[in-house]
Amino acid sequence: MSRYKVTVDRSLCIGCGVAPSICSQVFELGTDNGKNRVVEAYSVRTDENFSEGVIPEDLYDCAASAVQSCPVGAIKIEKIN
């Protein structure tokens, strides 16, 4: 089963809430600065500027929809080999 790295550039994020509304299994607005982050279950690291996580293949479509819907392009997803 494939896994995917998800990266949120929190310095670009405007905290509009689109990603969490589309894919709450992977994304949430952080209590630290109100910007998007990867949920604790999949988070690898989160700081003021970035949030990174690793998700299973069954969440790819959900996360990819959020990536495509982000109005500022702050979210990236890539397959881990």
**CATH number, domain at 17?**
3.30.70.20
Quick one: pLDDT band at residue 81, thresholds 50, 70, 90? Answer: confident
| Region 24-31 average pLDDT | 97
> pTM to 2 decimals?
0.95
Parallel, antiparallel, or unpaired for β 36-38 and 3-9?
Answer: unpaired
Task: Specify the number of domains making up the chain.
Answer: 1
What's the mean pLDDT in 40-49?
97
Domain that holds residue 15: 3-80
The DSSP secondary-structure symbol of 37 reads: E
Sequence-ordered strand ranges (E) for the chain: 3-9, 27-29, 36-38, 43-46, 50-56, 75-80
